[in-house]
Structure 1
């Protein structure tokens, strides 16, 4: 059930933030190195690279216990919601033109809505953010992103069930890749996106405070791995739209299965744990 946000959060709806950046060759090379791939021949960067641009740059002294910037105050873009646990929930992305090395970048972000829902573990608050990324003035990427805030886990409870002995069956999919996300991969992605959320690198905090059984793979990292699978199957910058939604958390060190299948210009993606537990679902248009 969805309810309207408390009146105290209404003033954050419509709040905007404008950031500028520059698409540097050295930074793009670090992204390519992270995913063991070569650069596109046309001087563009892979789809998903926009997550490395126009990043928040809060000082270390302005970070909260979980590693995210402190919320609230006149200068804060995000509202000071009382729920302490933050997770990326979904993204709807339009790739309108490839991002090119050497371009000046501008991103305008706007809070579209704040909505409360009642989940199995308590109250959930979803903040929907609309983002437009322009390169040299041209609209290149349009994204609507949802961030979810949750109450703390009760002490002694686990966020995820223990893995079972089942194995994901990739035979019904056109392309299938299995990999084990490592601490190194998570570290590099955190560095690329300037993400200091402790669930991606601090195991003690992740297990004892957040209730996970291991470090959590970033939602946008799982989405990027799906985009990489699309690149291997369809070529560079082949997607027009990409909608992805997190279902549950992928855990570092546990096998992750990525798969896709196409029907005409429509593509379906899944990311599953080894035992078949769904991690992410996505769809795309070529």
Structure 2
């Protein structure tokens, strides 16, 4: 195993400004009305302070190259498949349209594992996004790197079964079918050129997915929007999500929520009941 200790504690800072035009395009992407005031909706921070590697420095999957030829913030994990596995967030102070923001990111841990699914490397990163009124969002993000898929590996996830998702037991239920334009727009807003989100032959033949993959943070954004519809804007104090299975473009996605006045469980399911994402949230006092 590689000694990753040299990357623990490595930091980078990025600056940005919340452009009203970009924010309007994010609202349009999620089919939301224009804002009544300048408070930025929760989840928009994923569109700020983005990596901006030159196109010539992108790897075959559309992510920045991971090698030793360029000093990089993230460790040069050689495993080719990269996924955003989970995040834990605290929403402290609402951001506002037009203000300057900074994001400081720090590598918290690098853990190498091996098991039945092959070699894995988990990289945990802490992000702090600050606006003009101080710390706005604190996030701990987990990224997992995996071995390449075998050329003859079955497509993932398996074909939809005959079962149907049953929303009984959930207080709130909304169905959305992610489309190619939705994935394209979200990729553009987050400057994400990972080919599993727009290049169907690559997604199927190289990464062995059954179709185009819905971004994990897009599904998380849809769950945050589900909470907003019930609780109002900027009502969430903490939010955590974990990806369990790929959501596939063009297939129905069931978004659900239940809980008490202060604590909530959220989830996303495929049409046949396969769970795509698990999430939890707490409400501000």
TM-score, normalised by the number of residues in structure 2: 0.96
Name which of 39, 58, 81 aligns with 2:77. Answer: 81
Retained in 2: the 8 A contact 1:270–1:278? yes
Which string of whole-angstrom CA distances, capped at 9 and with x for unpartnered residues, describes residues 18-39 of structure 1?
Answer: 0000001001000010011123
Match of 1:63 in 2: 58
- The separation in 2 between residues aligned to 1:166 and 1:37, in whole angstroms, is 32
Match of 1:90 in 2: 86
Consecutive unaligned residues of structure 2, counting only runs of 5 or more, are: none
Retained in 2: the 8 A contact 1:260–1:270? yes
Change (3 A) 1:13 1:66: same
Retained in 2: the 8 A contact 1:203–1:215? yes
Which string of whole-angstrom CA distances, capped at 9 and with x for unpartnered residues, describes residues 219-252 of structure 1?
Answer: 0000000001011111101100001000011011
Match of 1:185 in 2: 182
Give the count of matched residue pairs: 281
Which string of whole-angstrom CA distances, capped at 9 and with x for unpartnered residues, describes residues 251-271 of structure 1?
Answer: 111111000012230010010
1:166 aligns with 2:160: no
Match of 1:46 in 2: 41
Match of 2:282 in 1: 285
Runs of 4+ in 1 over 4 A off after TM superposition: none
Match of 1:151 in 2: 147
Q: What SS does the aligned partner of 1:11 have?
A: helix
Retained in 2: the 8 A contact 1:127–1:146? yes
Q: What SS does the aligned partner of 1:267 have?
A: strand
Name which of 122, 125, 133 aligns with 1:126. Answer: 122
- The separation in 2 between residues aligned to 1:231 and 1:119, in whole angstroms, is 39
Retained in 2: the 8 A contact 1:95–1:142? yes
Give 1:119 shift: 4.2
Consecutive unaligned residues of structure 1, counting only runs of 5 or more, are: none
Match of 1:204 in 2: 201
1:248 aligns with 2:248: no
C-alpha root-mean-square deviation of aligned residues, in Å? 1.1
Name which of 263, 268, 282 aligns with 2:265. Answer: 268
TM-score, normalised by the number of residues in structure 1: 0.96
